[in-house]
Structure 1
Amino acid sequence: MTDSELLNYPISADAALEPPAEWDELRSRCPVAHVRLASGDQATLVTRYDDVRTVLSDPRFGRGTGRKDAARVANTEDGGVFNSEMATVLPQDGEGHLAWRRLVGKWFTAKRMSALRPGITAMADQLVDEMVAAGHPVDLKAAFGFPLPVWVICDMLGVPDSDRHKFAHWSDCLLSMTRYTQDEMMASMSEFGAYMAHHVELKRTERGDDLLSELIDATDADGRPLSNDVLVATGQGLLVAGHETTANMITKMVAMLLADRSRWEQVLADPRLVRSTVEEALRYDVNAGFGMMRYIDAEIELSGVSVPSGTTVVCSMAAANRDEAAFEDAARLDLTRTPNPHLAFGAGAHSCLGQALARTELQIALETLLRRLPTLELAVDADKLTRVDGLAVGGLSELPVRW
């Protein structure tokens, strides 16, 4: 593959749990590649671990939200999630962004995660009870992987998880690259915005022990109360990020372990491996979605290639996590791998704010399934599993299991 060839991105793969064949070639021969996005816009794709980490960690580079020449993700007029109203309202860079992260980050500390563990475990047990009562086979994504993180983030925000099916549709529309039309996405965002605005107003009159209630009384970097638009966008962003990626990752993690059931048996025999298994599943995940975008407004050199100012760079953390230069035997799922400095949550100032919560949910999900359903197995062959298509987040359409 030469640097002049233009790939369509995201790159498709033959099987849901296997990486695209192009990853190895890109890393070895064309680590700074030209790609075409679903919008038709061109961008530069980086796939080596060091390059991805360099771009994501460089404080000079932001997402390019609002830049006229920044590449758009979706095949709609507004370009999708990175160009949405939610993305433009929240502070993206500088002190404003850091101040916003400090405010929200108080709800994702290790101490708070420890306090949440009993409640999350009880919810996980309840979901398994419901699965067992319903009988098998069952779609683990619908019955367990999706409702668990939805319940958690709804409780944190103080919104009813009974509305989770609305959230799922709104999230899918927001994260669409090719699945929904511009009109469908606009209608969804209008409904989502109105819903969250109504919820914020309720919190103004009756505070609760939740994140939004606390943010209503908080101030921004300039000492001013957070605007209603910022409160609404924060609620939307956390609701989407707080359940969509984790729900998919729970499902993918279990699929990885059951596709070769000796892996499941290994953790079953030694539950102390749960934490390292979660980290390795995050590293090994080939279906992680779009990746992270950065707008390069100062020339940078990556793998000996000059990337000019005005370039939109797509960082494939999933491809970087399979880089043999960073991980020995990178193509093998090693449940004992440690240390494991994967880039699943990104790096730098824009690294995933909720990664402590995601790790907690993944650990509890795996602990609960091992404890309650030790005989869990796939109800279909692994090569029959299918990917979620047309969204910026990666996942499996369903995960049929039995026990």
Structure 2
Amino acid sequence: MEQSDGPQALNYPIPSTTALEPPAEWARLRQQCPVATVTLPSGDSASLLTRYDDVKQVLSDPRFTRLLNADDAARISDSDSGGVFNDSLATAIPQAGEEHQRWRRAVVKWFTAKRMGALRPGIEVMTEQLIDDMLDRGHPADLKAALAFPLPVWVICDLLGVPDSDRDKFAYWSDTMLNLTRYTQEEVTAAQTEFADYMSGHIAAKRTRPSDDLLSSLLDSADAQGGGLSDRELVATGQALLIAGHETTANMIGKMVAMLLADRRRWEQLVQDRSLVRSAVEEALRFDANPGFGMPRYIGEDAEVAGTVLPRGTTVVCSMAAANRDGNAFGGADEMDLGRSPNAHLAFGAGAHSCLGQALARTELQVVLEVLLRRLPSLELAVAAEDLRRLEGLVVGGLSEVPVRW
């Protein structure tokens, strides 16, 4: 099977006509060209995967690595660093083998079901407070600005033991480091430097004044075991949690609510049967057609995918969103089924690099949906669904605003 090549190469990310609908090319690529050559924002070429089995295969195959700073790897964006995936701070976290597993074991202890249960009441209180504030200001309101954006940054800052007064800084750094087009290279570099300097000082402060947060726990574990994570790894862990835990969840909250309100029957079904909240969250994650960039991987040796041999040095982009619409993996893939079970979507990736904070993201999404259904059963979009606008240039994808009324 041949890759699409030359003048046929698509620009990536592939645009869509409306914010909530998938690009028409997804279906064509899955059927006719599952390994397609695309041109990235940097101008470099990569191979795009859109089928469920192929995406899951690559994400689970340790030969496809996150070493995107290799000399022959494609740059994601047209900047010195090549984008957040190539950033030297982000790659300070071990990317493969036993060292990666060491880092993952140290951090994953914080994301247990027990810990998520302990965090849930606080997330509920903050959600209630943000909704109270939104109601006080009246409608129409932007649900993203009022609820979806501030909640996850509050949760991540709480997780890292960051004071309330510094949350606006974290929101800015998150947005800057994840945007492919909005900021200059100087602004991106400044944000990365400011974040690293802040976290270094924050870690030093936690050494002398520990509290009940993730960083204190990691530092305590390192002291007890005579090893653990280096300061550079701790700073990179903070960045990874901010990027993965704030911007992605903030945008997913907005998209989830927009998807449910775009077809009023979906929202009414949940109002009538709130036992569907958990499966509805999973289905929103699967159905999301605006996920941003996808997951890039680098192959350091020849490898075969979908009958195509990818030569050493190829950068592969796994479109989990396109894979999640694969009719060979999901019955009625283009329909939103709020009771879908099982639902083995790939929104959080697969394999050794699957999203570490997925339990936290699920908890936030479930809490937001539960509280909104209880507090605002009459919630509706204040604009037509087709008038919602995508947030351009962001690695994780989202809506620029979610206008609602009640």
TM-score (ref. length: structure 2)? 0.96
CA distance in 1, matches of 2:176, 2:126: 27
Q: Does 1:184 align with 2:183?
A: no
Q: Does 1:249 align with 2:252?
A: yes
Shift of 1:281: 0.2
- 2:307 corresponding residue in structure 1: 304
What's the CA shift string for 1:13-50, capped at 9, x where partnerless? 01000101110100000000001100111110000000
Shift of 1:264: 0.1
Change in 2 beyond 3 A, CA 1:244/1:161? farther
Q: Counterpart of 1:39 in structure 2: which amino acid?
A: S
CA distance in 1, matches of 2:220, 2:75: 35
Tell me the secondary structure at the aligned position of residue 313 of structure 1: strand
- 1:229 corresponding residue in structure 2: 232
- 1:371 corresponding residue in structure 2: 374
- Which of 356, 359, 363 is the equivalent residue of 1:360? 363
- 1:3 corresponding residue in structure 2: 4
Shift of 1:175: 1.1
For 1:242-391, list aligned pairs within 5 A.
242-391=245-394
Q: Does 1:34 align with 2:37?
A: yes
- Which of 381, 396, 399 is the equivalent residue of 2:402? 399
- 2:210 corresponding residue in structure 1: 207
Q: Counterpart of 1:72 in structure 2: which amino acid?
A: R
CA distance in 2, matches of 1:300, 1:283: 28
Q: Counterpart of 1:294 in structure 2: which amino acid?
A: R
Residues 43 and 313 in structure 1, CA contact (< 8 A), matched pair in contact too: yes
CA distance in 1, matches of 2:91, 2:284: 32
Pairwise CA RMSD of aligned residues?
1.5
Q: Counterpart of 1:336 in structure 2: which amino acid?
A: G
Shift of 1:2: 7.1
- Which of 145, 169, 176 is the equivalent residue of 2:148? 145
What's the CA shift string for 1:107-149, capped at 9, x where partnerless? 1111111111111111111111111111111110011111111
Tell me the secondary structure at the aligned position of residue 217 of structure 1: helix
- 1:117 corresponding residue in structure 2: 120
Shift of 1:310: 1.4
Tell me the secondary structure at the aligned position of residue 295 of structure 1: strand
CA distance in 1, matches of 2:124, 2:140: 23
What's the CA shift string for 1:274-323, capped at 9, x where partnerless? 01100000000000111111111232222211112211100000000000
Residues 86 and 237 in structure 1, CA contact (< 8 A), matched pair in contact too: no
Tell me the secondary structure at the aligned position of residue 218 of structure 1: helix
- Which of 240, 243, 258 is the equivalent residue of 1:240? 243
- Which of 193, 196, 217 is the equivalent residue of 1:193? 196
- Which of 127, 130, 141 is the equivalent residue of 1:127? 130
- Taking only the aligned residue pairs, the percentage that are identical comes to 66
CA distance in 1, matches of 2:306, 2:237: 36
Q: Does 1:72 align with 2:69?
A: no
The unaligned stretches of length 5 or more in structure 2 are none
- Which of 84, 87, 90 is the equivalent residue of 1:87? 90
Tell me the secondary structure at the aligned position of residue 85 of structure 1: coil
- 2:99 corresponding residue in structure 1: 96
Q: Counterpart of 1:95 in structure 2: which amino acid?
A: E
Shift of 1:251: 0.5
Tell me the secondary structure at the aligned position of residue 348 of structure 2: coil
Tell me the secondary structure at the aligned position of residue 45 of structure 1: strand
What's the CA shift string for 1:335-356, capped at 9, x where partnerless? 1111000000000000000000
- 1:158 corresponding residue in structure 2: 161
Tell me the secondary structure at the aligned position of residue 336 of structure 2: coil
Tell me the secondary structure at the aligned position of residue 144 of structure 2: helix
CA distance in 2, matches of 1:143, 1:161: 17
Q: Counterpart of 2:4 in structure 1: which amino acid?
A: D
Residues 3 and 37 in structure 2, CA contact (< 8 A), matched pair in contact too: no
The unaligned stretches of length 5 or more in structure 1 are none
What's the CA shift string for 1:59-86, capped at 9, x where partnerless? 2221123311111111111101111122
TM-score (ref. length: structure 1)? 0.97
CA distance in 1, matches of 2:90, 2:276: 38
Count of aligned residue pairs for this structure pair: 402
- Which of 42, 46, 56 is the equivalent residue of 1:43? 46
Tell me the secondary structure at the aligned position of residue 33 of structure 1: strand
Tell me the secondary structure at the aligned position of residue 64 of structure 2: coil
CA distance in 1, matches of 2:174, 2:159: 18
Q: Could you list the structure 1 runs, at least 4 aligned residues long, displaced by more than 3 angstroms after superposition.
A: none
Residues 320 and 346 in structure 2, CA contact (< 8 A), matched pair in contact too: yes
Tell me the secondary structure at the aligned position of residue 329 of structure 1: coil
CA distance in 2, matches of 1:268, 1:161: 33
Q: Counterpart of 2:230 in structure 1: which amino acid?
A: S
What's the CA shift string for 1:233-282, capped at 9, x where partnerless? 11122122111101100100000011111100001100010011000000
